[in-house]
């Protein structure tokens, strides 16, 4: 765990390798995965406003993180304006990304949400030069469901249906490692609402 909700804010972090999940807990104890972080993403922006972190940052793998003291970072930005540009870009990107997930959750049915989740993950890998046709989800069904506003059973059922339709395939070792032979086919699935009720 890189930081926990409530901890005093001192550093921002840049993820150089590995994967993180961001987890918020509400006052009444509801827990929620509110974001996923990949290589190059910044962590800790949530803490600037309140001077303490608003969520937990949990590594999903061995990870390498560059931690930067915020005050020193600002001084460095004064000397090197392009650094400030990078930081603003990262913050802006996070805002846009969060809105995209909000839209997915508000407007898509369960199966399309799961597909959008897979696409998101695949694209995140692809943009970073990693293979996007075969990867590990690194989240339990329960966590995926939580992130998407679904139950773990629904996630499991959708994935099974996608596998039955050969739009994805499971690794024979672990059902958390999946293959996406044709990302286009998945994409058109969301668009056209192809019915998978083959049974």
φ, ψ (nearest 5 deg) of residue 187: -60, -50
Whole-angstrom CA distances from 21 to 3, 52, 58, 59 are: 11, 18, 5, 6
The answer to whether residue 154 forms part of the interface with a second copy (CB under 8 A) is no
Stretch that binds a second copy, among 19-27, 60-68, 118-126, 135-143 (CB under 8 A): 19-27
Q: Which residues bind DNA (CB under 7 A)?
A: 109-111, 140-142, 145, 149-157, 159-160, 170, 173-176, 197
- Shortest approach of a second copy to residue 9 CB, angstroms? 9
The structure tokens listed for 93 are: 């990107």
Burial of 50 (0-12, 13-18, 19+ CB in 10 A): exposed
What is the rounded end-to-end Cα distance, in angstroms, of the chain? 42
The answer to whether residue 24 forms part of the interface with a second copy (CB under 8 A) is yes
The answer to whether residue 106 forms part of the interface with a second copy (CB under 8 A) is yes
State which residue, 4 or 176, has the beta carbon closest to DNA: 176
The answer to whether residue 107 forms part of the interface with a second copy (CB under 8 A) is yes
Cα angle for residues 144, 156, 124 (degrees, 5° grid): 40
> Which residue from 22, 79, 64, 20 is spatially nearest to 47, judged by alpha carbons?
22
CA dist., res. 95 & res. 65, Å (int): 21
Whole-angstrom CA distances from 15 to 59, 68, 100, 158, 167 are: 10, 11, 21, 31, 31
The answer to whether residue 43 forms part of the interface with a second copy (CB under 8 A) is no
The answer to whether residue 129 forms part of the interface with a second copy (CB under 8 A) is no
Out of 29, 82, 129, 184, the only residue in the binding site for a second copy (CB under 8 A) is: 29
Stretch that binds a second copy, among 29-37, 56-64, 133-141, 172-180 (CB under 8 A): 29-37
Contact residues toward a second copy (CB under 8 A) are 22, 24, 26, 28-30, 32, 34-35, 45-50, 54-55, 74, 78, 81, 84, 88-96, 98-103, 105-108, 146-149, 190-191, 194-195, 198
């Amino acid at each position: 765990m890189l930081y926990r909700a409530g901890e005093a804010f001192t550093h921002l972090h840049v993820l150089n390798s590995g994967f993180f999940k961001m987890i918020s807990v509400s006052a009444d104890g509801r827990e929620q995965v509110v974001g996923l972080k990949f290589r190059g993403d910044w962590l800790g922006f949530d803490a600037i406003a309140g001077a303490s972190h608003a969520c937990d940052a949990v590594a999903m793998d061995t990870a390498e993180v560059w931690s930067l003291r915020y005050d020193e970072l600002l001084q460095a930005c004064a000397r090197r304006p392009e650094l400030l540009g990078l930081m603003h870009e990262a913050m802006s990107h996070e805002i846009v990304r969060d809105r995209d997930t909000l839209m997915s959750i508000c407007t898509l049915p369960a199966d399309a949400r799961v597909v959008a989740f897979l696409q998101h993950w695949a694209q995140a890998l692809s943009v970073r030069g990693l293979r996007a046709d075969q990867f590990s989800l690194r989240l339990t069904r329960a966590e995926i469901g939580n992130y998407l506003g679904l139950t773990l059973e629904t996630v499991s059922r959708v994935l099974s249906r996608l596998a039955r339709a050969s739009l994805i395939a499971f690794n024979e070792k672990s059902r958390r490692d999946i293959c996406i032979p044709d990302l286009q086919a998945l994409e058109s699935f969301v668009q056209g609402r192809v019915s998978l009720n083959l049974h």
